[in-house]
């Protein structure tokens, strides 16, 4: 999902990087902070939780009013998110 107007484009990772400390997620094993690297969705370093969803690449879509963006601090459990 891309923004329609480049002049108003605000990616989700930019919102989180403005907050201290500046990172978007923590690694599952060492819990070290990570931040976006490639800015095009290839490296997966920008994964965040958005509106309750996990592992969303924050560099790929625009922020909107009312959106809840949180740092991803642990590895999501796919069994808890599975839909039957």
Is the residue at 69 inside a domain?
A: yes
Is the residue at 21 inside a domain?
A: yes
Segments forming the whole domain that contains residue 67 = 6-81
Our count of domains for the chain comes to 1
- Whether the CB-CB separation of 55 and 76 falls below 8 Å is answered with yes
List the beta bridge partners of residue 70: 49
pTM: 0.69
Is the residue at 1 inside a domain?
A: no
Summarize pLDDT for 11-66 with one digit per residue, the tens: 777 777 787 888 888 888 888 898 888 888 888 888 888 888 888 888 887 778 88
The first and second tokens of residue 76, run together, are: 């999501």
Instruction: Please return the burial class of 15, using the count of CB atoms within 10 Å of its CB with bins 0-12, 13-18 and 19+.
Output: middle
- Whether the CB-CB separation of 25 and 73 falls below 8 Å is answered with yes
CA distances to 3, 10, 48, 64, 72 from 26, rounded to whole Å, are: 27, 22, 10, 24, 6
């Amino acid at each position: 999902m891309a923004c329609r107007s480049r002049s108003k484009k605000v990616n989700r990772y930019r919102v989180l990087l403005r907050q201290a400390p500046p990172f978007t997620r923590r690694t599952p094993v060492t819990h070290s902070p990570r931040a976006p690297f490639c800015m095009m969705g290839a490296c997966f370093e920008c994964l965040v939780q958005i509106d309750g969803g996990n592992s969303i690449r924050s560099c790929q879509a625009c922020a909107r009013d009312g959106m809840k963006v949180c740092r991803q601090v642990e590895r999501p459990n796919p069994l808890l998110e599975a839909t039957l």
